[in-house]
Every structure is written in structure tokens, then in C-alpha cells.
Amino acid sequence: MATPAHQPKITATMPAALRKKWAAWGRAGQDAYALVMEARKGVPAATAFEVAEAYQLQANELEAIYELSTKTLRTYTQENRPLSAARSEKTLKIISLYNLGVEVFGEAAAFLRWLDKPAHGLDQEVPLRLLETSGGIDLVAEELGRIAYGDLS
């Protein structure tokens, strides 16, 4: 599990293969058809722990997002099982959101700080808590789009 001392995944220190995989999956998350097709294949369960590290999630936050215990996620990982299509879709959208957040804020640390504070454009909701649903991920992505274009109303 991630600790505050860990660097977020999309950084220069991330292994090149993982950077490439997340970049490709992030692009899939931007194209609805590609997202569905990739999700149907199933994302490896180990990717949930990559998401946890990148977002610096606590175990309870990871469990809330995936609606699975960390023990179950570890078992799936050890058995090389993929996530369900719905959880894979959520994972791909979360990866795409991460890539967008880093792009908008210029660095992962700034994006992660923003995620953890009430957002004006989200009716004072904490964006990180909205990642529990696919629609919530979309709302956070829309808010990042507004921030990117300077529409902070």
C-alpha cells in the first residue's frame, strides 16, 4: 500500500513499461468505445494497487472505490485474475483522470492536494470521494476541464 513518501506513478521515476501502459490506458479512457473494449478484456487486478499508490490511497479508500476488500484484491492479484468489466472500466477512467489531473495541475502532488479538498465547482464535495462511482469520476473530469479552461464558476 502507498505511503506518503512514495512518488505518484506517473513520474520520471516510474518504470518505462508502466508509464507506457498507463499512458495507453489513459488514452483508452478518453475514447468511450476504446474504454468499453479494453474494459471487456479485463484489467489485471494488480492495477488496483497501482491506482492506490498513484493516488496515495488508504486501504479503506481503495476498498470503497473497488467495492472489494484489499484481501480479495490481493488474492485476485496472486491468481492473475482480471477485474470485472465494470471495475476495469472504473480503473481505466481513474487512470485517465490521473493523467488529466497531472496535465492540468502540472504535477502529481498538486493534483493529489486538489483531490483531497472540497471543490467549489463540485458543490464543496471532496473530489477523491467521488471516485467511488463511474459518474463521479466523470464529474471530477468535467471539473478538471473547467479548471483547465479557466471556467471556475
- The predicted pLDDT at position 23 comes to 67
Query: How does residue 151 score in pLDDT terms, banded at 50, 70 and 90?
Result: confident
Cβ contacts of 6 within 8 Å, gap of 6 or more = 53, 56
Q: Residue 96: is its pLDDT beyond 70?
A: yes
Q: Residue 28: is its pLDDT beyond 70?
A: no
**Residue 81 backbone class (left: φ over 0; alpha: ψ -120 to 50; beta: rest):** beta
Query: How does residue 66 score in pLDDT terms, banded at 50, 70 and 90?
Result: very high
pTM: 0.81
Share of the chain above pLDDT 70, in %: 79
Angle between helices 85-105 and 46-55 (to 10 degrees): 30
Domain ranges of the chain: 16-148
Higher pLDDT, 9 or 123: 123
Higher pLDDT, 152 or 31: 31
Strand partners, 119: 125
Q: Residue 67: is its pLDDT beyond 60?
A: yes
